[in-house]
Structures are given as structure tokens and as C-alpha cells.
């Protein structure tokens, strides 16, 4: 079919992939610096909460994996014609709900593992409750924010004639780091207040 051939030619050519993805890759690479800036601002909190340094990379990795998977699934659903706009679509709701459920489960697991590995490495841990609370707070809240961003970027890109796969994954990778680091920062503030943790 001519229409199908034109569609495939447009979305699979090297030129279109580079043209669409390169500007966003450059922007997101610079944006990743902001996640590092937030981490630098957390030096005191990292010293106050033993085990946090073990937890942070794990949460960032989890958040990036789940968000990018969501973006990829949404992109596939859009290409298949299952999603065309932001509405109460079963495909859209199912993907977002699955992403948030994974975020909750994996956040709990990561909090427990951070405690175990901190102890196993011969270091003091802030406690399993503290680390799980930080992981769940930051993991779930960043998941909600990034799920909304994934939906908007994916559908918006497709409507403008861009391939969502070229834009969504790098966007969620970088924005995921920034949003998650900010949520970790907020989570630490809340946890230190609730548990009365002081330097």
C-alpha cells in the first residue's frame, strides 16, 4: 500500500531519525546537569541518612527504566492506532496504571535492598523504614509526574508528525533524572522531619 510505504519511509529513514532526535538529545544532555546539581545540594542529607547514597542510583535507574518503558509502550499503541488523544482510553489507563504499580512495588523492594546492602557492606543504615519511606515517596510521586509527561510528549509528538520513539525515551530519561532527584530531595526533607533526624 502506498500510504503504508510512505509512512514507513518517513519514520524509518536515517535522515528523519537524526533530524528529529538530535536536537532533543542535545537539550536533554544539558538538562541532565540539573539532576547533578540537585544531588550536590544533598551532601548534608547523604551524610545524615546512611544508606541514602546506595538508594539514590537505584531509584534513578528504576525510574528511568519504568518511564522509558511506558513511553515505548505508548508509542507502539499510538502507531497501532490504539491511542489517538488524551482521554479515558483503556489502553492508556492500563499502561499508566501498570507503570505506577511497578513504581510502588519496586520502590519498596529498593528501600529494603538498600538497607540490606548497606549493612552487608559494613556501614550503618538509617533503618529499613526510613529508606523504604524515601524510596516510596520519591518513586511513586516522580512516577505520577513522569507518566503525565510521557502521555503528553508521546501524543503531542505524533500529532505534529514526529516519531514519538525518537523523542519520548531521551525526554523521559533526562526529565526522569531531574524530577526523581527533586522528589528524593523532598522525600528526605519529609523523612528527616517525621523521624526527627538531625546532623
CA distance 196 to 191: 8
Looking up cell 515505548 gives 72
| Mean pLDDT of each 10-residue bin along the chain, 199 residues long | 59 69 71 79 87 93 90 88 81 93 97 96 92 96 95 89 81 86 93 85
Res 176: pLDDT: 86
Residue 190: how many CB atoms within 10 A of its CB?
13
Question: Would residue 67 count as lying in a domain?
Answer: yes
Question: Would residue 199 count as lying in a domain?
Answer: no
Burial of 128 (0-12, 13-18, 19+ CB in 10 A): middle
CATH number at residue 162: 1.10.357.20
Q: CA 65: distance to chain centroid?
A: 7
- For residue 41, give the 3-state DSSP assignment: coil
Domain residue limits at 176: 2-194
CA distance 130 to 164: 38
C-alpha cell at 156: 503531542
Is the Cα dihedral 140, 142, 145, 151 positive or negative? negative
Res 62: pLDDT: 92
Res 191: pLDDT: 93
Question: Would residue 45 count as lying in a domain?
Answer: yes
Res 148: pLDDT: 94
Question: Would residue 33 count as lying in a domain?
Answer: yes
Res 46: pLDDT: 87
Burial of 3 (0-12, 13-18, 19+ CB in 10 A): exposed
pTM over 0.75: yes
Q: What's the domain count of the chain?
A: 1
Amino acid at each position: 500500500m502506498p500510504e503504508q510505504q510512505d509512512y514507513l519511509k518517513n519514520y524509518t529513514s536515517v535522515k528523519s531519525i537524526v533530524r528529529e532526535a538530535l536536537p532533543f538529545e542535545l537539550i536533554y544532555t544539558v538538562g541532565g546537569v540539573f539532576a547533578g546539581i540537585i544531588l550536590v545540594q544533598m551532601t548534608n542529607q547523604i551524610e545524615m541518612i546512611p544508606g541514602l547514597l546506595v538508594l539514590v542510583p537505584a531509584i534513578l535507574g528504576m525510574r528511568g527504566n519504568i518511564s522509558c518503558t511506558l513511553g515505548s509502550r505508548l508509542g507502539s499503541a499510538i502507531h497501532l492506532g490504539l491511542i489517538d488523544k488524551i482521554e479515558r482510553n483503556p489502553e492508556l489507563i492500563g499502561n499508566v496504571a501498570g507503570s505506577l504499580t511497578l513504581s510502588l512495588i519496586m520502590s519498596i523492594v529498593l528501600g529494603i535492598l538498600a538497607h540490606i546492602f548497606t549493612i552487608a557492606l559494613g556501614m550503618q543504615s538509617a533503618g529499613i523504614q526510613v529508606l523504604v519511606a524515601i524510596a516510596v515517596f520519591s518513586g511513586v510521586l516522580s512516577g505520577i509526574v513522569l507518566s503525565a509527561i510521557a502521555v503528553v510528549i508521546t501524543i503531542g509528538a505524533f500529532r505534529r508528525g514526529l516519531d514519538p520513539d525518537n523523542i519520548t525515551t531521551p525526554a523521559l530519561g533526562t526529565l526522569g533524572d531531574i524530577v526523581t532527584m527533586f522528589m528524593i530531595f523532598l522525600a528526605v526533607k519529609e523523612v528527616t522531619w517525621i523521624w526527627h533526624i538531625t546532623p
